[in-house]
């Protein structure tokens, strides 16, 4: 029997118990900041220092010793290591907690907080320091040409062809810690269902916008629901 293929989508909810903010919860980032002020190309053109500051704070918080992968991140790394077939992890998150937990087959469709992109040469490099208007591009040496390598609203998410190819062939699609508010990620469950094969599962703290599209739901904290789900998949499938 061919090894069955799994696609997993994660959102901010999987990193909440690691101490990182979500976006649309009552205490989330968009409860105290406007997307139009900090997460669009227009915001960056209008007030680059404010946008750089927003991501500098999030980068410093991510790099603080208080933030580490949690049991949900670790369970997904275990699934990749122990499942006999393909496992592709697509994350909307820009943190590096999946990598730090050991996940390797990973796509950051909204980019990465710990990378910088140069507007002069297009180079993308690791970046862990505060980013300012005098930061130098590691690729071309230009000054003041860096932006965070994150996909802003109005921009195209990354590696969409590869993601749709995987959705078109998967036998299991699992959505974890996402409210299902933002496309194209919110449409992935419909893509998976459309391949005629996929069993679809939602693991979240509460039902998402797209909950009715899922075959199976488990609601509770990711550090409880994800390890339990991975244990079940590895021991008796779905």
Catalytic machinery residues: 110
Quickly tell me which residue has 């960056």 as its tokens.
Answer: 44
Contact between 17 and ligand APR (CB under 6 A)?
yes
168-187 positions binding ligand APR, by CB under 6 A:
177-179, 181-182
Separation of alpha carbons 192 and 169, rounded Å: 8
Separation of alpha carbons 114 and 11, rounded Å: 17
Contact between 22 and ligand APR (CB under 6 A)?
yes
In the complex with ligand APR, the residue whose CB is nearer, 145 or 178, is 178
- Stretch 80-109: interaction string toward ligand APR, x if CB under 6 A: ------------x-----------------
Contact between 63 and ligand APR (CB under 6 A)?
no
Applying CB under 6 A, the site for ligand APR has a residue count of 23
In the complex with ligand APR, the residue whose CB is nearer, 13 or 137, is 13
Contact between 197 and ligand APR (CB under 6 A)?
no
- At 206, list the tokens: 């509460």
Among 103, 175, 200, 204, binds ligand APR (CB under 6 A): 204
205-224 positions binding ligand APR, by CB under 6 A:
205-206, 208, 221-222
Contact between 11 and ligand APR (CB under 6 A)?
yes
Separation of alpha carbons 96 and 85, rounded Å: 24
Rule CB under 6 A: which residues touch ligand APR?
Answer: 11-13, 16-17, 22-25, 28, 92, 110, 177-179, 181-182, 204-206, 208, 221-222
């Amino acid at each position: 029997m061919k090894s069955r293929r799994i696609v997993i989508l994660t959102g901010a909810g999987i990193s909440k118990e690691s101490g990182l903010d979500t976006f649309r919860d009552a205490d989330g980032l968009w409860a105290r900041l406007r997307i139009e002020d900090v997460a669009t190309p227009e915001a960056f053109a209008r007030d680059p220092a404010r946008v750089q500051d927003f991501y500098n704070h999030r980068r410093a918080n991510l790099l603080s010793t208080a933030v580490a992968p949690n049991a949900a991140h670790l369970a997904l790394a275990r699934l990749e290591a122990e499942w006999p077939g393909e496992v592709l992890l697509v994350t909307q998150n820009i943190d590096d907690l999946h990598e730090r937990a050991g996940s390797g087959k990973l796509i950051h469709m909204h980019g990465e907080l710990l990378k910088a992109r140069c507007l002069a040469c297009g180079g993308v490099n690791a970046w862990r320091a505060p980013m300012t208007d005098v930061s130098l591009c590691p690729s071309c040496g230009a000054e003041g040409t860096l932006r965070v390598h994150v996909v802003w609203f109005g921009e195209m998410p990354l590696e969409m062809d590869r993601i749709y190819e995987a959705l078109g062939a998967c036998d299991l699609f699992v959505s974890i810690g996402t409210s299902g508010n933002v496309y194209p990620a919110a449409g992935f469950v419909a893509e998976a269902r459309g391949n005629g094969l996929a069993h679809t599962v939602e693991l979240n703290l509460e039902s998402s916008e797209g909950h009715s599209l899922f075959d199976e739901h488990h609601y509770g904290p990711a550090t409880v629901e994800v390890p339990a789900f991975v244990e079940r998949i590895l021991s008796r499938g779905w």
